Structure 1
């Protein structure tokens, strides 16, 4: 019975950790368009390993994952990954900077590009964003993922589903833990 209890607690621990993953809808309700301000959008978010980015876009757009140099120069010919039939979900699998651009002619140069920094959930590494003026300088603003931001009163759409998942895991834990103790 002790093995069953250990197994159950292990599963709940994994479920609780995965419940923290957030789906970030790029551009929120506006989606991935050539009218978005993605630098400002990204500055209000913390992107963790395990989170996803959801790009909602029409047939005249796409999403390319590009290098920093290609991001800076709006060059999409050497894309690391390319998606053209939206919506597109990109899972953030490792810490570090990631760069995205629309491959449609002229869209990147008018601001349809996104730079994020993905952090490990246990990391205190600051999140940085790239300036919207197209300069190659280092971004001036940082936010620390361990310090909650109070400047954005609206809640990210994806975090509400993560909160519900977290509450479900806690609820199941509160029900199953006494049951396991009773059985053992």
Structure 2
């Protein structure tokens, strides 16, 4: 086997191994993307941001505000509280990481002044983690078998 073919084969194998490992990693979502958790110019900015993403159990939300702005994070318990911008009793400040720990709908809003009414709020539907479900029904033995097969194939070519 030529060196070029061997290098290509090794690249493909490592690509697939990387893909397999990546499947088990939770995703960190920076709220608002590069704009961050700051007062938006349009009232649908954060709702639009959230609607373009899929959230799973164990993913994390990262809230970052500009250093010259202070925006808290409130978590209303109901759609009515969210729609009415009713401030909940639980607040977080500055850079915060919130883990999405169970499948359900969650609401987030700024509790400073009228920020919420100006659109500084969003809701997410957290889906069950398909990677966790696969592991429960016996995917790990198949994964280990696949990795062992790939490693054995590599040994044959070296």
TM-score range, shorter chain: 0.5 to 0.7
What does residue 32 of structure 2 align with? Answer: 27
1:92 pairs with 2:97: no
1:102-143 deviation per Cα after TM superposition (whole angstroms, max 9, x unaligned): 0101100110011010001229xxxxxxxxxxxxxxxxxxxx
Equivalents in 1 of 2:130, 2:70: separation in Å? Answer: 38
1:60 pairs with 2:70: yes
**Total equivalences in the alignment:** 116
TM-score (norm 2): 0.63
Of the three residues 72, 77, 86, the one matched with 1:75 is 86
| CA RMSD between the two structures | 3.0
Of the three residues 49, 53, 64, the one matched with 1:45 is 53
Instruction: Describe the SS at the equivalent of 1:90.
Output: strand
Larger Rg: 2
1:137-172 deviation per Cα after TM superposition (whole angstroms, max 9, x unaligned): xxxxxxxxxxxxxxxxxxxxxxxxxxxxxxxxxxxx
Equivalents in 2 of 1:119, 1:91: separation in Å? Answer: 13
> Tell me, which stretches of 5 or more residues in structure 2 are unaligned?
1-16, 132-146
> Tell me, which stretches of 5 or more residues in structure 1 are unaligned?
1-11, 124-172
Equivalents in 2 of 1:177, 1:87: separation in Å? Answer: 42
Equivalents in 2 of 1:122, 1:24: separation in Å? Answer: 18
Equivalents in 2 of 1:83, 1:73: separation in Å? Answer: 20
Q: Which has the higher helix share?
A: 2
What is the deviation of 1:16? 3.6
What is the deviation of 1:21? 1.0
